[in-house]
Structure 1
Amino acid sequence: MERQLELIEGSFDACFSNGVSEALDELPHNFTISDPCISGHPIVFVSRGFLEMLGYSKEEVIGRNGRMFQGEGTCRRSVMEIREAIREEREIQVSLLNYRKDGTPFWILFHLSPVFRDEDGRAVHFIAVQVPIARSPLRSRSGHRSNEICLSEDGFKSFQMLHRSCRRELRSDTMLELRHGLEFDCVLDTDKGLDVEELCEAGDAVWMGGAF
C-alpha cells in the first residue's frame, strides 16, 4: 500500500515540472490526468474545476479510479468502450452519466486521450476532459433525435492545446501554452443532441470491473 502511494505521488512529478503543476492548478476547467502504468489506473492530477463540479476534495480523488464517479445509471456499454480505448491506447469521446459526491447524476461529454513517451511510444498518462451537458435532447431538422454530440471547434482546439503541451513537456520541460487562453467551452450543435434512451437502456448497472 505504501509503495502504491509512492508511485501515485511520483507519477506526475516524474514526467512534469513544478511549473507545469502550477500552470495546471490555475486552470478552472474540468479534467483529470491518470496513470495507466500503475495498478488500478489511478488519477494522479485533478483540476480545480473538476473538484468544484463534483464536490470532492483533492485528497478524496487522487489515487482513485475514475469509476468512483459512476453510479447505477451509468451506461455499462459506454464504460466498456472507455476501457477498450485505454487498453488500445487511443482516444475516445462519449457521453456519460456521472454522479457528484452528493449523489446528483449529471451528463458529461467525456474525451479521453493518451500522452505517449517519445522514447518508446508508451502511453504514460491519459488526459480526461469532462464537460457537463446542460441542454436537454434536441431533434434534428429531419425530426429525429441524434446521439451525436461534439466539442465546439474552439473547445476541440483547446483540448488539442492541452494534449500537445503535455507531450511537449515530456520532451522539453515547458508547458507555457497552458497559461494562455486555455478554455474548455463545449456546446451542442443546434442539429445534434443527447438521446438518453438510445445511449443507454434504462436500468443499466454501473460496470465495476477492470481498470475503469
Structure 2
Amino acid sequence: MDDEEALLGDGDGDQERDRRLASSLTARYSDWVVEALDELPGSFLLTDPAMPGHPIVYASGGLADLTGYARGEVVGRNARLFQGAATDRAAVAGVREAVRGQRAHQVAILNYRRDGTPHWVLLHLAPVFHAADGRVLHFLAVQVPIAPPAARRPPPPVLFPACREEARVDEECPCASHAGEVFVDVDKRGLDTEEPRVASEHDKEKALSTANSIFSALNRYSKLTGLVVCGKRCDSVGIPALSSSLNLSLGRIKQSFVLTDPHLPDMPIVYASDAFLSLTGYSREEILGCNCRFLNGPGTSMEVIEEINQHICSEQACTVHLLNYRKDGRSFRDLLHISPIRNASGKVAFHVWVHLDEGAKYDFNGLSPEVWQLGAVGAVRVAVRSLSASGSLLRPSQ
C-alpha cells in the first residue's frame, strides 16, 4: 500500500483521514478559513507537502466547474489525477523542480477532466511560507483555462486518459518530506499531442490576481492562530540583504552571474544580475534564497553536479559544461564557471556562478568565452574585497 492509499483509507479510517486533512487548514488558519476560501472566485487547490502522498487539502468550487471533479473526489488525493497520457514531460519536470526548490512557477500544461477530455490550463504554483521560520506549509495551485485559437482544429481523441503511477523523486526539500510528490512524470511516448497553447498576458494576470486574493485570505486568517504566513520567504529566515553599495557595484557588471552564500543552509542565492534574469527568464524575487539547483532538470549530469560540489567544498574554482533549463522549460547548454570570492580578511564570503549560453551569439571583443567569464569574476572580487574592508557588504540592520 502506498502513501496515497494509506491516506485514503479502506473505509474504517475515513473519519481519521478527514480529520487530518481538515486540520491541515484549520490548525494553521483557523476554523473559518474554508468558508473564506469558498467565497473566492477561480479554480485553485492547496496541497500539504508534509503529509504522506502530498495530498490536496482544499479544492475550490471553480476547480469542480473546470475539471468535473467534486471536492470530495480530489481532497486527499495527489494532484497527479489531473494529468494524463499526453501531459508534457518537460512541463511536469519544471513544476516538480519548482516544488523541490520551493519557488513560484507558471507553465501552460495539458490536463484532463474527470470525463477524460484534455484541456489546456495556465498553472500558477506558489509555496505558502511560515513568515517566522520560512517553512513551506502548503502549495497553492491556480488553474486558468487557456482558450484555443479560433482556427484551431479539434484535438485528437485521447487513447489513455488515465496516467500511470508517479515516478518517485529524491527528497530535496528539508521542510517538506513529501514535496516532490506533487506532480508525476507521465509517459507519452508513441502518442500524438495537440499543439501547445500559449497563455495570454491576461491569463497570467488573472492567475496572479487569484493567487494574491488567496494569499490575502490565508494571511488574514493565519493571524488568528498566531501562525502568520506569506508568499515569500522573508529576510528573517536568514537570507542576508546586501548593502546598497555592493548592489550598486555588482549592478555595473554586465555578465550573467549569481552570488551564493556558502555559510547559509543549502547555499542560497543572495544576488542575481540582470543578465542572468534575462538568460533564465526568472524574476529576482523568484530565485533569491533558492539553491542553484532550480536550473537543473532532465538530462542534467549528476556527475558534473558532484564535480561542482567537490570544488566548492575545497574552495577551488572550476569550469564545467552543463545542461540547464530556463523558466519556460527550454534547455540550454551552460558554460558555467564557479569561483570562491574572498573578503578582505581572506575568508570565502561568496561563490560567484558565471553562466554563458553556449548556443547564443556574443561579442567577446576578441576574448575567449572563458576569459570573458573570468572578467566577471575579477569585477565581483574587486567589489567584494573593497567593500568588505569597510564592513559594508550587508545592510547596517543585518
Structure-1-length-normalised TM-score: 0.70
Residue of structure 1 aligned with 2:92, choices 79, 85, 99: 79
Among candidates 48, 62, 68, match of residue 81 of structure 2: 68
Identity of aligned residues (%): 42
Unpaired stretches in structure 2, ≥5 consecutive residues: 1-5, 7-12, 152-195, 227-327, 331-398
More contact order relative to length (CA 8 Å, sep ≥ 6): 1
Cα distance change of structure 1 residues 146 and 112 upon mapping to structure 2, 3 Å threshold: closer
1:49 aligns with 2:101: no
SS for the counterpart of 1:135 is coil
Equivalent in the alignment of 2:211: 159
Q: What is the CA-CA distance between 1:163 and the residue it aligns to?
A: 2.0
Q: How does 1:102-121 map to 2 (within 5 A)?
A: 102-121=115-134
Secondary structure of 1:167's aligned partner: helix
Aligned-partner residue type, residue 165 of structure 1: A
Whether the 8 Å contact between 1:117 and 1:170 is mirrored in structure 2 is no
Whole-Å separation in 1 of the counterparts to 2:129 and 2:98 = 14
Structure 1 stretch displaced more, 113-122 or 95-104: 113-122
Partner of 2:47: 34
Across the aligned residues of Structure 1 and Structure 2, the Cα RMSD in angstroms comes to 2.9
Shift of 1:172: 4.3
The CA distance in 2 between the partners of 1:126 and 1:39, in whole Å, is 14
The answer to whether residue 175 in structure 2 is matched with residue 123 in structure 1 is: no
The 8 Å contact of residues 94 and 110 in structure 1, kept in 2 or not, is answered as yes
Runs of 5+ in structure 1 lacking a partner? 139-144, 175-197, 201-212
State the Cα distance separating 1:27 from its structure 2 match.
2.8
Please state whether the residue corresponding to 1:18 is helix, strand or coil: coil
Tell me, in whole angstroms, the C-alpha distance in 1 between the residues paired with 2:75 and 2:67. 14
Once structures 1 and 2 are overlaid, which stretch shifts more, 77-86 or 153-162? 153-162
Q: 1:44-70 CA distances to partner (integer Å, 9 max, x unpaired)?
A: 000001011111111110001111010
Question: Is residue 2:106 matched to residue 1:93?
Answer: yes
Q: CA deviation at 1:149?
A: 4.4
Question: 1:10: which partner in 2?
Answer: 23
Select the residue among 219, 223, 230 that pairs with 1:171. 223
Distance in structure 2 (CA, Å) of the matches to 1:28 and 1:131: 11
Instruction: Classify 1:5/1:154 alpha carbon distance in 2 versus 1 (closer, same or farther; 3 Å).
Output: closer
Does the aligned pair in 2 maintain the 1:36–1:126 contact within 8 Å? yes
